[in-house]
Structure formats: C-alpha cells, structure tokens
Chain A
Amino acid sequence: MIALATPAVVIPTFGGSPSSYACERANRLFCANWVSRNWSSVLWPALRQHIVLSVVAVAIGFAIAFALALVAHRRRAVERPVILISGVLYTIPSLALFEILVPFRPLGLSARTAEVALVSYTLLILFRNILTGLRDVPDDVREAAAGMGMTARQTLWRVELPLALPSIIAGVRIATVTVIALATVASYICDEGLGVPILAAIQDGVFKTELITAGGLAVALALCADGLLVLLQRALTPWSRAQAR
C-alpha cells in the first residue's frame, strides 16, 4: 500500500518540468496533473480491481439468493430463516465483519475475505426482491398458465421469472451500488480496489487529490453500473413500458 501511494506522498524532483508539480507543491485541493500522471499506475488498476470485486460479489450473491428464493417460493417455511440470517449478516458493521473473517484459515488477509463479506451484504436485498417479484405475479396469470397445461417448471421460467424481472433487477441495482460503496472498505484487509488510494490518502492526511479522485471514481462507477442495469431492464422488459393506446 505504501509503495503504491508513494507518488502522492513524496513529491518527486525528477521527470518533467518543475512547473508541472506546482499544484502539488502548493497543495491545492485538486491537481489534474497528478491524476493524469498516476492514472495508469495507481487509479486504473484500482478501478479495475474494484469492478472485479463488485461484479464477483454481486454474481455470487445473486446465485445464492436466487437458489434460496426459488426454494422459498415453493416452500414458505424457508422464507423466515433466510430473512433472519441474511438480515443479521446485513446488520453487522462491515469493518467488524472483515475483522471477524480474517482469522479463518482459507480466508485471511485476502480478496476472498472481502468477497465473503460483500456477498453477505447482497443476500438480504436480492433474496427479498427475487421472492417478492415471484410472489407478486397475479393469481389469474398463474391460474391461466396452469389451466393451459404448463408444468410448474414451465410456469416458473416462462411466466413467473419474466414477470418478476423488474423487481429482480431493482434488487440487483441496490445490491450493486451498495457493494461498490462497501468494497472501498475492503482495502483494510487486502490491497485491492479504489479503497487502496483512498486509504493511502487518509493516512497521508495532507494531499487531497488522491482521495477526491478515487472517491469520485467509486461514485462514478456506482452511477454507471446503475445506469447500465436500467438499460438492461428496459431491454429485457419491453412490455413494462407498453401503455394503453
């Protein structure tokens, strides 16, 4: 971490004209030159790692929540324990959860620990939204599906899941934005993600450009991901925008 943050902490005297470091020397709030100089060595790798961390967390969280929701859709008794456990996981402060997980053998100070924590935060949101989406399918639609001879599996894949899509994607949007924000905290236990430059800047305590840029990138990433998911929903549910003519 220290090695990565070095360019921000020690103002180098080599390379480039002295004037290009004027901003850093004056310690202004935001130095565009610093950003362009550190983009490929610090910011871009951190952003890329952040995307991977978030995507993996949401994907694994979705797979688990989806399977649990399908079971709970058929057996109501499953719903309460799942809500209870995922609810408890959701309320554990993220820093505390990281610290709890680190002593476990296969985890330790690694991205795996971060993923376990991030996944556990997505479960409640995703499970609830998937299950609500499935449950909100109108009874008459289900009745018609059964009455025309669809099997339970055909009804699920051809009718219930497509109709649950808006609710499911709404859940994925919340989970994604949450994970992108939380993943910055993962830098306390592993050297990955936008949290790394943020942490470095906090430890440095003087130079603000790195903090602002990395934080801004996390916000921009969340907004982009949310926007992409909105587009995905529009593409997948053309019927939801069909209005009476």
Chain B
Amino acid sequence: MAVSKIGKFPSLSYIQKRRLVPWLFVAPCMVIILMVTVFPLVYSLGISFTKWEITFPKHPFIGFENYVRLFRDIRFRSSILITAILVIGGVTIEMFLGFGLAQVLSGKIVGRRIVVAAMLLPVMVMPVVVGYTWRLLWDAQYGPINQIIGWIIGRTFHYAWLAKPPTALVAILVTEIWQWTPFMFLAFMSGIVSLNPELFEAADIDGATKWQKIRHLTVPLLRPIILVAVLIRSLDALKFFDVIFTLTGGGPGNSTETISFYIYQTGYQFFRLGHGAAGSFVLLIALIVIVTFLLKIFKTVVE
C-alpha cells in the first residue's frame, strides 16, 4: 500500500509536495495575522501622519505634526509618567512580594495546594470587576478600608483616597499589585520547587545561611524565570487601561491617565484619530525599547 502510493508520483513532485505541506499548515494563521494585525498596524501608522478629525471631511497628510503636538501636550507627557510609575513601581513591588511569598510557601506547608489555589484567584478576576471592587473598598463613606483604619487609630476616618492625585495613584498601584503578585508568586514558586535539592543540602553542609542560599543559589538559578515573568508583566502593564477606566476614570482631573487611556479619550471619544494613532505608536516604540532592554540585560547576565 505504502509503496504503491509513493510509486504513483515522480519523486520530484513528492519532495515538492513535502515542502509545500508545512506552509499549508501555517497559511491560515499567517493570513489571519496579516489581516488582523499587520494590515491595521500599517494603516494606523498612515493615519498617524494625517489630520484625521471628525469635523474634517478630508484627511490631509501633515507629516510628523501629530507627534510634535503630542509631545507638546502636557496631558500626554503626564500619561507617560503615570504609565512609567505603574509599570516600574508595580512590577518591581510585585516581583519582590511574589518572591517573598514563593520562598515562604515553597517550604513544608500543610495544605499548600489549597493555599496556592486560593491565592491565585485575583488573577482570574475580570480587570473591570477588580477596578470597581477596589473603588468600593477605597470609598470614603462606604468602604471597609477607611473603617479598618478607623479601628486602628481609634476614631472615625473618612479619607477620599481617589479624590487626590497622589493617593489615587497609590490606590491604583495597590490594585495592580493585588491582582498580579499572585502571578509572580506562582511563577517563582514553580521555579523554586523544581530546583535541585542537593544543591541546597550541599550549601547546608558548608554552613551557608538562609540569606546566602537565596542570594547565591535561588536567585541566580531562577534568573530566566524572573526575567520572563518581569517581561510578561511589564508588557501587559504598559497597556494598562481597564482598571484605570473603572477605578479612577483617569481622575481626579487627568492625573491618573495612562497612555492607553489618553489615546482612548483623544482618539475614540473625541475622534481625533490622527492624534490618537500617533500616541499609540509612541507606546509601541516604548514597548519595543523595553523588550530589547530587558533581553539585553538577560544576555549580559547569562554570559
């Protein structure tokens, strides 16, 4: 059967067929990616060089004017700062908290599976829900956070956390940390559990302290996992939008707007597409820079 099947075709066409088949497998995927990402991306780049506004019937080419205006806009510059604070601050704190928790939980713990499953629940909550939930928790009148602080200091406490820029930013950070520390924790814990216990036994025999073991064994061995986790979180946090939308709505004023939120407002709500598209390419470039930067660090560390 097999022989006769191959025998029917001249060998050349058989080889050609074999070469073609892999591409047939990938073709649907490539067509979809070209249509839903590459093409819109190029189109969006085109929009960013035109004056495209709802009051304007025509879309004249204006070169880099959208970009120039963007960087003159204090609101955009502030949104870059807010995004940077959330990405750098949030991811760093998540990393340390996650590592600490992973250390604690990788020891002998009764009921570890249940504890881990429970701690992971925040990751499984819809970001929009997370935003509203924390808005209720931070609420000046009806929120339990002020109530608990009131118990501690011994008098009623009604602080409007989300009404002032610095504390609103803290509230967003806490929310972000709440949702994504479990992710870091899970990644690090799986890493720590899979490390070779003999290394640690050898270190024990040599009389290494707990801190020395963490510094000279755990962290270096976990470095690839740490990098991947930080990379994934940073790239996702750069797009930060949902929680801003529901927790603070970008306010008070525009003080907690992220880049994504700014683009949403100018582009979608005020329909200044050219301006918004230009903003999105600034974000895209920031993303590429971060990836290159983190991968470079990774390479120098590994070598």
A and B are partners in one complex rather than unrelated chains = no
- B residues apposed to A, CB below 8 Å: none
Binding site for B on A (CB under 8 A): none
